[in-house]
Structure 1
Amino acid sequence: MFSPPDIDTLIDKVIQLEGDFSHHPADRGGPTRWGVTEAVARAHGYAGNMRHFPREEAVAIYKRNYWYRPGFDRIAQLAPQIAAELFDTGINMGTRTAIGWLQRSLNALNRNRRDYGDIAVDRKIGSKTVAALAGFLAKRGDQGETVLMRALQALQGARYIELAEQRPANEAFLYGWLANRIG
């Protein structure tokens, strides 16, 4: 039996990766601290200077908005590595994007609905998404989680390339995205 990933450990890894305060001129997100953009901090009631945004508030936002609200805790019960990947992708690209990639990947991996039925790509974790993941893992086992992880990372990597192609200023971030978010 496995244990689900510890959300506090996942958050610590994200904060370590994101670093303290940043205000890169090419970053459309503006000032960030602990990986939380100013817009997200403001939406959660923080009114101060982002250089002083408390780590505890970042942790609370990560738990609420990027783990429990999207339902990644439910995914963690079946596939801890996938849940951790969705959490990280959700922070970097949006939780709905991460969930959509999971749903697309599960549909593409169901062998024309022989292993389990297609699910709507509604970008929400619901009972059908959880059931499809369970069906996939029942059919493919531990190696299935690895293959599903590769599918998610392939979609993420392709999106990073697209972002750099669409906006040359994003080339400043492409190497780091690929080095730190894929693999």
Structure 2
Amino acid sequence: MDISTLIDEVIAREGGYGNHPADRGGPTKFGITQAVARANGFMGDMRTFPRGVAEAIYRRLYWEKPGFAFVAELAPKVAAELFDTAVNMGPGTAGGFLQRALNALNRNEADYPDLKVDQSVGAKTLAALGAFLKLRGKAGERVLIVALEALQGERYMALAEKRPANEAFLYGWLANRIG
């Protein structure tokens, strides 16, 4: 699956303009918060935020910059999961989830060295992913996605427990982001 398709799917899932009172992100359109839009040069009313600008932001900030395009060369489905997690929780969180999962799956460093969980997908993370996939193959890719989704699901539960207003979003997060 290519990034254009992933972006189309995220935009379809996120919908158009929204400004839910319980959402700390404030006004959003296509899943892009007003703060992210402003940081990327859009100063207008979020109701008029252009889809093309949203697509460019998704590609640059949530795919290319965090290194998920390189992950896609090794494991496209893992990269798709990381992209979706990045959109909803931030690229660093997604990268950290990958590092944590790879560390937990390396059989006490028998397969490859532990990674520093710095949330940055660089050469060492890509090498660990490559070693994991070489050993575990397609079945390993599926298991890795399950591990990533488990971390994501736990994070959603913690967010709802920590801030009861987030319960308004928990069902949708679990229904649309996990599995």
Count of matched residue pairs = 179
In structure 2, the partner of 1:50 is 46
Q: CA deviation at 1:125?
A: 1.1
> Are 1:128 and 2:95 matched, yes or no?
no
Corresponding residue for 1:38? Answer: 34
Match of 2:15 in 1: 19
CA apart distance, 1:74: 0.2
Q: What TM-score, normalized to structure 2?
A: 0.99
Instruction: Measure, in 1, the Cα distance between the counterparts of 2:163 and 2:119.
Output: 25
Give the secondary structure class of the aligned counterpart of 2:79.
Answer: helix
Q: 2:179 matched to 1:178?
A: no
Note the 1:1-16 alignment, pairs <5 A. 5-16=1-12
Gaps spanning 5+ residues in structure 1: where? none
Q: Secondary structure at the match of 1:30?
A: coil
Spell out the pairing of 1:29-178 with structure 2 (5 A cutoff). 29-178=25-174
Shift of 1:51: 0.4
Task: Supply the distance in 1 between the matched residues of 2:25 and 2:116 (Cα, whole angstroms).
Answer: 31
Give the Cα–Cα distance (whole angstroms) in 2 for the partners of residues 174 and 124 of structure 1: 27
